[in-house]
Structure 1
């Protein structure tokens, strides 16, 4: 009877992941302990998945999306009232959104067992990498202030189907009066950061309706030199305004 109850979540095993730090950056590795506590009956754990989750916006509303999944271990048996602790190193995916502008990101730990899968949810504080921060600093130096940061559905972008868009608006500086918005999308990696840029020029009603006031380009960042990035970003904006 106890095994039957466990299959519907009553007296089930539980899981709890404890991270060395919940403040992380894309590309980092964080030490963690995954603690499994047995329930009222012996249970076979087929595997443990660590899923990086977030929400993204679509035309139909908000959806939950998986950034990446890592399989932690193969199967094992957890005895009634027994316990097992697995020490691991969690790699923060490069494509993990930053927790800015109300964006939530969490690590979901899931046991694959018969019946109801026990899970644990740990919210993360995802901060910019040094290169990302240098891009933000460069935009601010040009008089552009961050207005929104949100995850948007982009069909065909990749397996995730969404990207994080950072929208800046000029509050001063050389492009005030010429620029409506500056939109940045990061494509990070271990050796470089590709920045996709949409320059929304200030135009009349007809140009806005026809989207002729928008220009798209990209540039690559290999250092965290905000001064050099500011020059590159300035030149790119000037070419498209």
Structure 2
């Protein structure tokens, strides 16, 4: 019977199970995630090489002229050294990991989850998936509020494939002007947070001018109507965010 149970466990039947119980489901980028990882033994004793916990998200990329969705690891940590979980035994392991400041915000199409897994040799690795809500950092929220205050409305948020960044993606916030000085002048404004910390944020603004006249239509057709500009904003400059955004956008509108 023991051999039979081992054979079943090797294909995932009667195998050990893992369940992550988070302290809460709503976080701000930069917060500490706390909780308990519960491992329950199956029908037979099994050697667990490690418990891993990862914060995951998805992003879009283009391949062969079509869009595909990929998964990306935001942060991944190993919780323990190898151990044996006996049949019917329950063990608990404390979880504490810090969400990077660049963790995507769960707006629009963006989803973020905590993935937990057990590495068990010669068996199907048990796993668990817990979706969480992630809010912008204080500095990021100030930038987004500054854009809104200039008459822009958030239209779409999504993670897109990117190179030469810390992650294989960046999160883009796409705004359209609906009131104020930029209504009728811009088609859209894209805001991307390239790097963040508790003390500063690096922002990429893509200013997309509305076509006006033949020259404007030609520029739009050639893709030269878009201007990319970087801004570095420090915590002590938060009170000046709106004016700094306005000054920058106005130069290229």
Q: Shorter-chain TM-score: which interval?
A: over 0.9
Aligned residues: 240
Unaligned runs of 5+ in 2: none
Equivalent residue for 2:163, pick from 151, 155, 165: 155
Equivalent residue for 1:228, pick from 214, 224, 240: 240
Runs of 4+ residues over 4 Å off in structure 1 = 224-227
Equivalent residue for 2:125, pick from 101, 108, 117: 117
Secondary structure of the residue that 1:46 maps to in structure 2?
strand
Equivalent residue for 1:107, pick from 101, 104, 114: 114
CA contact (8 A) 2:207 2:249 kept: yes
Separation in 2 of the partners of 1:210 and 1:73? 54
Equivalent residue number for residue 138 of structure 1: 146
Equivalent residue for 2:25, pick from 22, 25, 39: 22
Q: CA shift at 1:225, angstroms? A: 6.5
Separation in 2 of the partners of 1:110 and 1:86? 13
Equivalent residue number for residue 9 of structure 1: 12
Q: CA shift at 1:89, angstroms? A: 1.2
Secondary structure of the residue that 2:79 maps to in structure 1?
strand
The two structures, once aligned, show a CA RMSD in angstroms of 1.5
Does residue 74 of structure 2 align to residue 74 of structure 1?
no
Q: Provide Cα deviations, 1:77-111, integer angstroms capped at 9, x if missing partner.
A: 11100011011212112221111013111110011
Separation in 2 of the partners of 1:94 and 1:45? 31
Separation in 1 of the partners of 2:237 and 2:133? 24
Equivalent residue number for residue 177 of structure 1: 184
- TM-score, normalised relative to structure 1: 0.95
Unaligned runs of 5+ in 1: none
Separation in 2 of the partners of 1:51 and 1:12? 21
Q: CA shift at 1:224, angstroms? A: 8.0
CA contact (8 A) 1:194 1:221 kept: yes
Secondary structure of the residue that 1:206 maps to in structure 2?
helix
- TM-score, normalised relative to structure 2: 0.90
Separation in 2 of the partners of 1:96 and 1:182? 21
CA contact (8 A) 1:47 1:73 kept: yes
Secondary structure of the residue that 1:172 maps to in structure 2?
coil
Q: Provide Cα deviations, 1:188-230, integer angstroms capped at 9, x if missing partner.
A: 1232111111111112221112121111111122228764110
Q: Provide Cα deviations, 1:14-46, integer angstroms capped at 9, x if missing partner.
A: 111111111011111122111111111111110
Larger helix percent: 2
Separation in 2 of the partners of 1:132 and 1:95? 10
Secondary structure of the residue that 2:104 maps to in structure 1?
coil
